Structures are given as C-alpha cells and as structure tokens.
Amino acid sequence: MSDTPGKQQNTAAFYGQAVASFAVAMAATAIGIYQLSADAWVRAFLAIAVLYLVTSAFTLSKVIRDRQEGTGGAPSYAPYEKR
C-alpha cells in the first residue's frame, strides 16, 4: 500500500453510479407517491416531506465533508473526542 498524500478523487464510474442511483430513487419515490390512492393533500404532504429530506441530506453531507476537509471553522467543542 502507498501512503501518498493528497486529495483522493472519485472515478467517473463512481460518480455516474451515485447520480444514477439518486435519480432512480427519486423517480421511484415520485411514482410511488403519484400512484398512491390517497387524497391530493396527502400526496402533496409526502412529496414536500421527501424534498425536505433530500435537501437536509445534501446539507448534512456538505457539513460532514467540510468538517473532514477542515474548510469549516474550527469547532468550539468535539463531543466524541477525549480530552
């Protein structure tokens, strides 16, 4: 194994798989909500809930990435770190 320092890059195939997986999951969820035999307001509520979940997942992903890369500000505490 090599301990080459530097930033690791994802391959194009991994990126494509991640995008395709996200697209399939969103499409399947949208079709499922559309086909649901419920009132329109119930389907609308579920659609908004899914969109909120997706946006908060993207935000969480960005926060975790920034923290690992050290681009965010220094945290004032580290709850899981022994002192």
d(CA 13, CA 1): 23
Locate tokens 């999951």: which residue? 25
Q: What is the pLDDT of residues 31-42, one digit of tens each?
A: 999 999 999 999
Q: Do 59 and 51 touch, CB atoms closer than 8 A? A: no
pLDDT beyond 80 at 49:
yes
d(CA 30, CA 36): 10
d(CA 70, CA 67): 5
- DSSP class of residue 2? -
Tally the residues of the chain.
Answer: 83
Q: What is the pLDDT of residues 9-20, one digit of tens each?
A: 889 999 999 999
d(CA 33, CA 42): 9
What integer pLDDT is reported at residue 70 of this predicted model? 83
What integer pLDDT is reported at residue 81 of this predicted model? 66
48's tokens: 């908004």
What integer pLDDT is reported at residue 45 of this predicted model? 97
What integer is the mean pLDDT of 67-75?
Answer: 70
Q: pTM of this prediction?
A: 0.66
